[in-house]
Structure 1
Amino acid sequence: MVVPKRAGARRDNGYFGPGSMAWEIAGHPATLAGMLNGAYIALLFPEVAQSIQDTSVMRVDPLGRGDETMYYVYTAIFGDTEEARRAGKFVQGRHNRVRGHDPVTDTDFTPTRSDLAIVGHGLTWLSLLASYETYVRRLTDDEREKYWQEGLIAAGLLGLEVSTMPATYRDWCEVYRRDFFPRMNYSVASEHAFANMHTASFAPPWARPAIRATVAFVNELTLATFDDTERILLRGTRSKTRLAAARLLGRSFFAVAALAPVRDLVEQYINRGDIHALLSEARAIEREQKQADGALRIVA
């Protein structure tokens, strides 16, 4: 796994900045688990799962593949405009080389196919929201809409025509349930992808027990972010008691993870500490903005 190093010092606040929903949501550690939410749903598209089975580095290096996703998400949201565009080009370059074919549905796959590009961005963007609302706080309708509108900016970074995306959060929910949800299916390739993750077959034997335990824990927290129908599709049905326990545990776990010393330690291990540098800069910018706003109120 190789992601671009930062080109230099920050030039501006990027596409979102202080006060954005994107900074609030993606800046919380709970959204680290949220990234699996979108990945799980993506594996229910048979052609996506088959492509991973046939060609993706995810089979042999899922952690490295996850680092690539985190590099894009955090750089697009917290980087300056130049770095955000660079991250978008990085993902586009990766996507342009991916091809696949699902023999069951007889469909070709590429991440640049317009319908899959739309749902791919939507799932990635809203997986963060699902985890945040499960483990941090529920947003208002206006906040969700604001977050979706910010997501349309991120879609542009991936080369998507914003006019092809659902215009509002409500539109997205309708399109997702009407056009994409009926196409989802737990295929043989999906089974292989999940088995590879849960058995840790990609890792050396001595590391597998610890990885399996970690994956099992994260899996419980991730499944608690879906609705009942999605969990059935994922073959991860849970009792109400088990879901409530997972959510209670997750809220406590992420509350601790959000404490500055713990949060900083975790961030240092993501993409060689580059993500921590981005997030630290964003927090400093937010503090400066709050101080400036406070000074203005005093003067007024």
Structure 2
Amino acid sequence: MAKRKRGEVRPHDDYGFFGPGSVVWKVWGYPTAPTVGFQRAVVVEELDPPLVAAVDATQGIYQRSRTRYDRTLRYFAMVAFAGTRDVCKAADVLVKVHSKAIGELPYGGGRYDANAPDSQLWIQLTGWHSILYAYEKYGPGKLTAQEETEYWEACALAAELQTCSPDDLPRSRDGIREYFARMRPRLSASPIARQAMNHLLKTELVFPPLPRWAKPIAVAVARTQRAATLATLPRWMREMAGIRQSRLVDALIVPVMKVSFALAHLNPTVELRLLGMLSPSSVAVVAPIKLGIRPRTEEVLTPEEARTRHGFAKPAEAHLEFRARQSARVFADGEAPSDQGLVESQEILGPLA
């Protein structure tokens, strides 16, 4: 099976921004990443009022639960594992996709913009922190001090693919704690946030169509993952969102998940099949790494080197005219924003339906 799959896998152009032996490949390549880690990230994100306003306005997580999960996970997998040209393309088109997510905040006044640096910083840090937290809790355990330093430096490097500034990213666990402490007074479990968080905890919504005999198994798996994800959330966050889970369940779920993930990690083919259940379009991104397929060029680039070589602008400076037109349509003309970026993204991030 592994040999057949190797023959079907298209190699990446290069090793991307991290490469073999990196702590990013170690952490993001463990099965906790696309499961508990990613689910935790998207659930926590909803507590940020501007972000959840954008999520609620587009309704993508409700109307296209599976494809939205698939496309978002594919993007994060690309940043970690794909070749630099493909990642630069994805980061570039994502600016156009996010240009559609603008409007008036439903609570408290003001506006939201998914491309705003503050929103992008929140997404970046909740994502990278959640992936690491799940790895430590349900995977091999804590990183060494050197590995952790490398991890947060890598997080800052990856931020160059967002509209936020890498200078604003903490480079240590203490810095991450300070960031979340600063953010806590700004977070809100509004009605739309609670609705989104509870919806995103339903793993069964991202499963593919299953035969009748498999549905009870899928429900059990989904409930187990929900319990595992909730066990990673701090008590104050659960109380804010009105989500309950006992301390006993928090404790019992840990050995179950540690053993399950360790067994899955023994076989790359099994890992890829599990990934395909949650995010079929991410398999092509991760398979070359799991199956040891070397890229066409064995090199690692920085984002700046990649942009220069492949001809892309920094995300913060990309598509400014298009973003201005989108803003004028929404705030001046009272019209819906264009879907142009969303349509263009399908070739890179996967289909919308």
Superposition TM-score, scaled by structure 2 size: 0.70
Q: Specify which structure has the bigger relative contact order, considering alpha-carbon pairs within 8 angstroms and separated by 6 or more residues.
A: 2
Match of 1:31 in 2: 33
Aligned-pair distance for 1:197? Answer: 4.4
Higher mean C-alpha displacement, 159-168 vs 97-106: 159-168
Of 124, 132, 135, 1:132 maps to 135
Aligned-pair distance for 1:268? Answer: 4.1
Match of 2:273 in 1: 265
Pair 1:236–1:139, CA change in 2 (3 A): farther
Match of 2:48 in 1: 45
Match of 1:106 in 2: 109
Q: CA RMSD in A?
A: 2.9
Structure 1 distance, partners of 2:60, 2:50, is: 16
Q: Cα deviations across residues 20-77 of structure 1 (Å, max 9, x unaligned)?
A: 1110001011111210111111111233223322223111112211111111111111
Structure 1 distance, partners of 2:86, 2:205, is: 35
Match of 1:277 in 2: 287
Pair 1:106–1:252, CA change in 2 (3 A): same
Amino acid at match of 1:248: P
Percent identity, aligned pairs only?
22
Structure 1 distance, partners of 2:151, 2:201, is: 32
- The count of residues paired between Structure 1 and Structure 2 equals 277
Structure 2 distance, partners of 1:120, 1:62, is: 19
Structure 2 distance, partners of 1:194, 1:172, is: 22
Pair 1:278–1:94, CA change in 2 (3 A): farther
Superposed counterparts of 1:2-41, under 5 Å: 9-33=11-35, 34-41=37-44
Pair 1:176–1:194, CA change in 2 (3 A): closer
Match of 1:3 in 2: none
- Please state if 1:163 is matched with 2:167: yes
Task: Tell whether the 8 Å contact from 1:256 to 1:262 is kept in structure 2 after alignment.
Answer: no
Task: Tell whether the 8 Å contact from 1:268 to 1:274 is kept in structure 2 after alignment.
Answer: no
Structure 2 distance, partners of 1:197, 1:125, is: 18
Q: Secondary structure at the match of 1:12?
A: coil
Pair 1:196–1:127, CA change in 2 (3 A): closer
Higher mean C-alpha displacement, 141-150 vs 17-26: 141-150
Q: Cα deviations across residues 237-283 of structure 1 (Å, max 9, x unaligned)?
A: 433321111111111221122121421322344334313434335x4
Match of 1:235 in 2: 242
Higher mean C-alpha displacement, 188-197 vs 21-30: 188-197
Structure 2 distance, partners of 1:254, 1:101, is: 42
Q: Cα deviations across residues 146-193 of structure 1 (Å, max 9, x unaligned)?
A: 101001111101243212333444223212212x11211211102322
Task: Tell whether the 8 Å contact from 2:42 to 2:200 is kept in structure 1 after alignment.
Answer: no
Structure 1 distance, partners of 2:270, 2:68, is: 24
Match of 1:181 in 2: 184
Q: Secondary structure at the match of 2:260?
A: helix
Task: Tell whether the 8 Å contact from 2:43 to 2:200 is kept in structure 1 after alignment.
Answer: no
Runs (5+) with no aligned partner, structure 2: 1-9, 299-353
Of 225, 230, 241, 1:223 maps to 230
Task: Tell whether the 8 Å contact from 2:19 to 2:25 is kept in structure 1 after alignment.
Answer: yes
Superposition TM-score, scaled by structure 1 size: 0.81
Higher mean C-alpha displacement, 37-46 vs 260-269: 260-269
Runs (5+) with no aligned partner, structure 1: 1-7, 290-300
Higher mean C-alpha displacement, 50-59 vs 18-27: 50-59
